């Protein structure tokens, strides 16, 4: 079953084309990495799927239902049930770790007892129990990253979007968190669209790699195929 | 239909703003063309035919041009010195120089009169011949320019300080590798903030152009004085409006020029990664000299006038009489200013949100409308409000303090909305987006994420709204219903027959009523900010 499909999606800002008739489908349980140089339109693709921007033409569907079409956002982000980890983490500085994670559960009107249980579970999953009452500013980079991940997963989204989530971390932490993200995905089974411009990171994480260049897809295949192709160039 | 909540709510705010701000002007324009029930341009014909009008226009233009030129020449370097160097007490100086802008402007004129006037302090000290000279200096174009210079100097100063901080420090760092500070300022920093400097120039020009109380007090004939006199002395509505129209026209023209030449030129703000980092100019051997110079300037244009008022009003009698005769007005002032500030903060917040997010098509128009209303002379807004609300069915507005509050809202929303928009620009958009993917609708995002993150803008907006409502003289003087006048209005009317001691005491009370709450709130703001950083 397709979690996300993009059909002939185009997007331009003023006269500059950012995405050019992009089509992409992601199946349940996949870990797709969108790989491409800076400025090629990766973030724009994620924001189209999340519903922050509307495609000029083409359709975006989530779980078989059109959510954006031809310049119109049919379903706003808050109704799409996707999780997202932002490049700058976007942790709310005035809320504690616990409150950050709890926010979406509250918005959904989940009862307090159930909320607390879910928060505790998420804290354990990302190995952050003991930090519940800290403010984001009191966390290290890696801890902020884990908190952002826990927050994105708290509502058990079918799809998790990640925009260069390890970009601002140092090399060692970067490698460790790659493994953690993969383990977490295998454990929880959500579908993942992961954006990066770093090849090593892409290979470490993906089950499928999509390469992008100037707003077009130019490769879509397994990790092994991607490695073969890159060796040829 | 997604986003419905948001569109409806923000739409109502826009409609409110249009009713409060633009409708009065339209009503005024319309009524000025109806004479005895017929369409007529008689009022305008009278205006164009009169040679006096052209004299007024020349006076107005001369006054505004001189004030603009001088405030820029002094204000921009002052802003650089206070915003970017290692001068001691920079913050204190900045606060000091802002003070004259916060009190009703004619009070500054009164204090200069008490110093330089024919019966002023200088006359006592240096004798009559000198005082005759200073007196005629004061009651002329030069006196008006000098007084308005001290009042509007903080505008270019503050804008320079604020915008210098938005420059990406690496741009200056790159310049410093190859040039001294003077070259960097001249070639990089100042050109980068040029839009802010021009904005300051435009604001000072328009505010001087619309200034009523200072030229009226110093008997220098300009357009707003004419309009006011026609209205309040002769109850001649058509003539008053006709005299107000050139004011509207000049305001519109300048704003249009700004829209055409400036808005495309604003540079992107610094990347958030560099916030907190900024380059400081070491004054080195010049530090002492600059310090003395700035102290001297601050003493002459801020401290001296206040000291003169204190000397003039010395003794308890003057203060007792002042409270006797104007205590009620003081309470009105505090009450309306607090109410005005609260509404301004609320409306300004959402207008600022709208401007920042461009959520409504024509968002730039909304921004321009608020700036237009801010730049428009208070006299014009006052006449407009009366024209709209003075009907048998709307006495609940016209005959109550509500009309005063509407005036504040019309004129000063630009301040709170710009403060909000500036704050929102500091907050990463992913803050709200993250709440959105977490499933929160618009109201929830506003209440739980955006508003808590913007508390600084809310508090700062309230303080600024309070100060500007409190100092307002022009609008209030025209619209206040009998028995509801504010302190600045009361002082202005008492000036006709009150003793100089009484007037000076009233001015000191007015200044205290402005500065004490402002200082308290500022301290609150300061402790809260430092606590948050910790
Ligand atoms: N809101 C916007 N307005 C104008 N141009 C934009 C906007 N968002 C992105 N772009 C441009 O679109 C291009 C692709 O951006 P993005 O999707 O962020 O690329 P990536 O994430 O691959 O680095 C860039 O050239 C960027 O400047
Ligand atoms: Mg990107």
**Domain shared by A196 and A217, yes or no:** yes
**Domain shared by A11 and A64, yes or no:** yes
Average pLDDT over residues B128-145: 89
Report the percent of chain B where pLDDT is more than 90: 44
Contact between chains at A92 and B433 (C-beta distance less than 8 A)? no
**Domain shared by B164 and B301, yes or no:** yes
Say whether pLDDT at B534 is over 50: no
From residue B109, give the alpha-carbon distance in Å to each of B139, B438, B518. Answer: 10, 57, 22
The residue whose two tokens read 């004619």 is B106
Q: Which of B283, B308, B333 is the last residue of a domain?
A: B308
Domain assignment of residue B303, yes or no: yes
The residue whose two tokens read 């109550």 is B400
Domain that holds residue A111: 82-156
Classify strands A82-85 and A159-163 as parallel, antiparallel or unpaired.
parallel
Residues of A in contact with B437 (CB under 8 A): 50, 77-78, 80, 82-84, 104, 152
Could you tell me which of B180, B190, B207, B186 has the C-alpha nearest to residue B79? B190
What pLDDT does B266 receive?
52
Q: How many helices (H) and strands (E) does chain B have?
A: 31, 2
Contact B195, B164 (CB under 8 A): no
Average pLDDT over residues A145-151: 93
Domain assignment of residue B302, yes or no: yes
Question: Which residues of A sit within 8 Å Cβ distance of B?
Answer: 50-52, 73-84, 86-88, 90-94, 103-104, 107-108, 151-152, 154-155
**Domain shared by B21 and B80, yes or no:** no
Domain assignment of residue B500, yes or no: yes
Least confident of A66-70, A89-93, B50-54, B301-305: B50-54
| Residue bearing the CA closest to ligand 1, atom 6 | A13
**Domain shared by B381 and B510, yes or no:** yes
- Give SS3 for B275: coil
**Domain shared by A227 and A165, yes or no:** yes
**Domain shared by B389 and B443, yes or no:** yes
Helix (H) or strand (E) holding A24: strand A16-27
**Domain shared by A132 and A180, yes or no:** no
pLDDT-based confidence at residue A93 (cuts at 50, 70, 90)? confident
CA–CA distance, B354 with B16 (Å, rounded to integer): 14
* Mean pLDDT estimate for chain B: 86
Q: What are phi and psi of A32, to 5 degrees?
A: -95, 130
Higher pLDDT pick, B359 / A57:
A57
The residue whose two tokens read 């409006």 is B241
What pLDDT does B47 receive?
73
Nearest atom within ligand 1 for CA of residue A164: 21
Report the percent of chain B where pLDDT is more than 70: 93
| Pocket around ligand 1 at a 6 A CB cut-off | A 13, 18, 36, 38-44
Ion ligand 2: residue ranges with CB closer than 5 A: A 43
Nearest atom within ligand 1 for CA of residue A197: 22
CA–CA distance, B350 with B364 (Å, rounded to integer): 14
What pLDDT does B162 receive?
85
Say whether pLDDT at A66 is over 80: yes
CA–CA distance, B101 with B71 (Å, rounded to integer): 13
The residue whose two tokens read 């079953």 is A1
Query: With an 8 Å Cβ cutoff, is B448 touching chain A?
Result: yes
Domain that holds residue B156: 56-228+275-308
Contact between chains at B437 and A94 (C-beta distance less than 8 A)? no
Average pLDDT over residues B196-221: 90
Geometric angle at alpha carbon B230, from B224 and B233, rounded to 5°: 115
What pLDDT does B384 receive?
92
Name the token pair of B126. 């240096």
CA–CA distance, B306 with A67 (Å, rounded to integer): 65
| Residue bearing the CA closest to ligand 1, atom 24 | A39
CA–CA distance, B21 with B374 (Å, rounded to integer): 10
Contact between chains at B453 and A104 (C-beta distance less than 8 A)? no
CA–CA distance, A31 with A205 (Å, rounded to integer): 7
| CATH code for position A215 | 3.40.50.300
Contact between chains at B437 and A92 (C-beta distance less than 8 A)? no
Classify strands A16-27 and A31-35 as parallel, antiparallel or unpaired.
unpaired
Average pLDDT over residues B190-197: 84
The residue whose two tokens read 């307090």 is A112
User: Per-residue pLDDT tens for A55-65?
Assistant: 999 999 999 99
Quickly count: other Cβ atoms within 10 Å of residue A91's Cβ: 22
User: Per-residue pLDDT tens for B418-456?
Assistant: 889 888 888 888 999 999 999 998 999 999 999 999 988
Higher pLDDT pick, A8 / A89:
A8
Say whether pLDDT at B177 is over 70: no
Average pLDDT over residues B66-75: 97
Contact between chains at B2 and A73 (C-beta distance less than 8 A)? yes
What pLDDT does A6 receive?
96
Say whether pLDDT at B262 is over 70: no
CA–CA distance, B339 with B465 (Å, rounded to integer): 10
**Domain shared by B370 and B475, yes or no:** yes
Q: Which of A126, A156, A186 is the last residue of a domain?
A: A156
Q: Give the N- to C-terminal CA distance of chain B in Å, as an integer.
A: 43
- Which among A9, A39, A52 is the best mutation to test ligand 1's pocket, defined by most ligand atoms within 8 Å of the CB? A39
Average pLDDT over residues B260-278: 55
**Domain shared by A140 and A168, yes or no:** no
What pLDDT does B410 receive?
96
Least confident of A55-59, B138-142, B237-241, B249-253: B237-241
Specify the number of domains making up chain A: 2
Distance of CA B375 to the CA centre of its chain: 9
**Domain shared by B28 and B87, yes or no:** no
Contact between chains at A77 and B433 (C-beta distance less than 8 A)? yes
**Domain shared by B504 and B363, yes or no:** yes
CA–CA distance, A157 with B166 (Å, rounded to integer): 39
Quickly count: other Cβ atoms within 10 Å of residue A26's Cβ: 21
Say whether pLDDT at B269 is over 60: no
**Domain shared by A170 and A194, yes or no:** yes
**Domain shared by B341 and B301, yes or no:** no
What pLDDT does B97 receive?
96
What pLDDT does B1 receive?
43
Distance of CA A183 to the CA centre of its chain: 16
Please tell me the pTM assigned to this model. Answer: 0.82
- Which among A40, A41, A47, A165 is the best mutation to test ligand 1's pocket, defined by most ligand atoms within 8 Å of the CB? A41
Could you tell me which of B338, B333, B320, B314 has the C-alpha nearest to residue B511? B333
**Domain shared by B25 and B67, yes or no:** no
Contact A151, A100 (CB under 8 A): yes
CA–CA distance, A67 with A54 (Å, rounded to integer): 10
- Which among A12, A19, A43 is the best mutation to test ligand 1's pocket, defined by most ligand atoms within 8 Å of the CB? A43
Higher pLDDT pick, B252 / B157:
B157
Higher pLDDT pick, B52 / A212:
A212
pLDDT-based confidence at residue A10 (cuts at 50, 70, 90)? very high
**Domain shared by A54 and A103, yes or no:** no
Q: What are phi and psi of B60, to 5 degrees?
A: -60, -45
Name the token pair of B166. 């938005």
HEC-encoded secondary structure of B460-527: HHHHHHHHHHHHCCHHHHHHCCCCCCCHHHHHHHHCCCCCHHHHHHHHHHHHHHHHHHHHHHHHHHHH
**Domain shared by B370 and B482, yes or no:** yes
Average pLDDT over residues B334-356: 94
Q: Which of A103, A138, A156 is the last residue of a domain?
A: A156
Classify strands A191-196 and A159-163 as parallel, antiparallel or unpaired.
parallel
Q: Which of A156, A188, A211 is the last residue of a domain?
A: A156
What pLDDT does B268 receive?
47
Nearest atom within ligand 1 for CA of residue A36: 22
Nearest atom within ligand 1 for CA of residue A45: 17
What pLDDT does B497 receive?
82
Distance of CA B506 to the CA centre of its chain: 22
DSSP assignment of B5-54? HHHHHHHHHHHHHIIIIIHHHHHHHHHHTEETTEE--HHHHHHHH-HHHH
**Domain shared by B356 and B290, yes or no:** no
Contact A15, A34 (CB under 8 A): no
What pLDDT does A1 receive?
79
**Domain shared by B414 and B317, yes or no:** yes
Average pLDDT over residues B477-505: 90
* Mean pLDDT estimate for chain A: 91
pLDDT-based confidence at residue B46 (cuts at 50, 70, 90)? confident
Distance of CA B95 to the CA centre of its chain: 15
**Domain shared by A188 and A136, yes or no:** no
**Domain shared by A176 and A189, yes or no:** yes
**Domain shared by A63 and A165, yes or no:** yes
CA–CA distance, B42 with B528 (Å, rounded to integer): 58
Domain assignment of residue B194, yes or no: yes
**Domain shared by A198 and A145, yes or no:** no
What pLDDT does B499 receive?
87
Domain assignment of residue B255, yes or no: no
Specify the number of domains making up chain B: 2
| CATH code for position B32 | 1.10.3720.10
Say whether pLDDT at A232 is over 50: yes
């Amino acid at each position: 079953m397709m979690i996300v499909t993009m059909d002939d999606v185009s997007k331009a800002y003023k006269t500059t084309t950012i995405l050019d008739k992009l089509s992409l489908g992601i199946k349940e349980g996949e870990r797709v990495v969108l790989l491409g140089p800076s400025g090629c339109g990766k973030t724009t693709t994620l924001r189209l799927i999340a519903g922050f921007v509307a495609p000029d033409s083409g359709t975006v569907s989530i779980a078989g239902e059109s959510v954006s079409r031809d310049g119109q956002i049919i379903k706003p982000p808050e109704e799409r049930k996707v999780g997202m980890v932002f490049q700058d983490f976007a942790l709310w500085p005035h809320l504690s770790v616990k409150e950050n994670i709890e926010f979406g559960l509250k918005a959904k009107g989940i009862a307090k007892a159930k909320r607390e249980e879910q928060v505790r579970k998420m804290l354990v999953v990302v190995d952050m129990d003991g930090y519940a009452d800290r403010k984001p500013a009191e966390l290290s980079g890696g801890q902020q990253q884990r908190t952002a991940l826990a927050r994105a997963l708290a509502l058990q989204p079918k799809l998790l979007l990640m925009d260069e989530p390890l970009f601002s971390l140092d090399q060692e932490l970067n490698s460790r968190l790659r493994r953690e993200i993969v383990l977490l995905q295998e454990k929880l089974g959500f579908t993942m669209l992961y954006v990066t411009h770093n090849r090593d990171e892409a290979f470490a994480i993906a089950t499928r790699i999509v390469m992008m260049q100037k707003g077009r897809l130019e490769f879509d295949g397994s990790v092994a195929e991607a490695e073969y192709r890159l060796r040829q160039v | 239909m997604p986003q419905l909540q948001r569109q409806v709510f923000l739409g109502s705010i826009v409609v409110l703003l249009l009713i409060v701000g633009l409708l009065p002007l339209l009503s005024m324009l319309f009524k000025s063309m109806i004479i005895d029930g017929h369409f007529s341009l008689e009022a305008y014909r009278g205006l164009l035919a009169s040679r006096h009008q052209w004299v007024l226009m020349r006076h107005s233009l001369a006054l505004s041009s001189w004030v603009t030129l001088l405030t820029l020449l002094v204000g921009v370097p002052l802003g650089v010195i206070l915003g970017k160097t290692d001068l001691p007490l920079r913050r204190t100086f900045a606060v000091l120089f802002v003070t004259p802008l916060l009190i009703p402007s004619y009070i500054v004129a009164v204090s200069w009169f008490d110093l330089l006037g024919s019966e002023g302090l200088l006359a006592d000290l240096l004798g009559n011949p000198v005082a005759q000279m200073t007196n005629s200096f004061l009651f002329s174009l030069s006196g008006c320019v000098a007084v308005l210079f001290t009042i509007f100097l903080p505008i270019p100063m503050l804008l320079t300080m604020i915008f210098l901080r938005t420059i990406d420090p690496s741009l200056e760092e790159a310049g410093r590798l190859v040039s001294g500070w003077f070259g960097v300022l001249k070639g990089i920093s100042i050109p980068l903030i040029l839009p802010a400097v021009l904005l300051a120039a435009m604001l000072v020009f328009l505010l001087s152009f619309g200034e009523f109380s200072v030229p009226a007090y110093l008997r220098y004939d300009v357009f707003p004085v004419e309009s006011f006199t026609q209205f309040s002395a002769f109850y001649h509505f058509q003539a008053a409006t006709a005299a107000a129209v050139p004011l509207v026209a000049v305001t519109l023209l300048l704003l249009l020029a700004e829209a055409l030449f400036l808005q495309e030129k604003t540079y992107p703000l610094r990347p958030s990664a560099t916030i907190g980092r900024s380059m400081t100019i070491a004054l080195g051997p010049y530090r002492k000299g600059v310090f003395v110079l700035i102290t001297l300037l601050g003493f002459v244009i801020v401290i001296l006038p206040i000291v003169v008022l204190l000397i003039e009003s010395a003794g308890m009698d003057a203060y007792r009489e002042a409270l006797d005769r104007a205590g009620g007005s003081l309470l009105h002032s505090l009450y309306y200013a607090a109410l005005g500030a609260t509404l301004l903060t609320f409306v300004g917040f959402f207008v600022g949100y709208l401007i920042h997010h461009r959520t409504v098509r024509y968002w730039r128009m909304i921004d321009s409308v608020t700036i237009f209303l801010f730049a428009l002379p208070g006299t014009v807004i006052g006449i407009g409000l009366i024209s709209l609300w003075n009907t048998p069915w709307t006495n609940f507005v016209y005959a109550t303090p509500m009309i005063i509050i509407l005036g504040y809202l019309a004129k000063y929303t630009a301040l709170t909305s710009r403060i909000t928009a500036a704050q929102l620009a500091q907050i990463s958009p992913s803050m709200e987006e993250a709440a959105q993917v977490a499933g929160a609708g618009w109201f929830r995002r506003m209440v739980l994420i955006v508003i808590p993150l913007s508390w600084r803008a809310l508090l700062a907006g309230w303080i600024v709204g309070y100060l500007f409502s409190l100092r307002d003289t022009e609008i209030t003087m025209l619209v206040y219903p009998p028995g509801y006048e504010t302190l600045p209005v009361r002082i202005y009317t008492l000036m006709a027959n009150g003793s100089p001691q009484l007037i000076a005491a009233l001015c000191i009370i007015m200044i205290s009523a402005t500065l004490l709450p402002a200082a308290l709130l500022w301290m609150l703001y300061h402790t809260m900010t430092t606590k948050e950083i910790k």
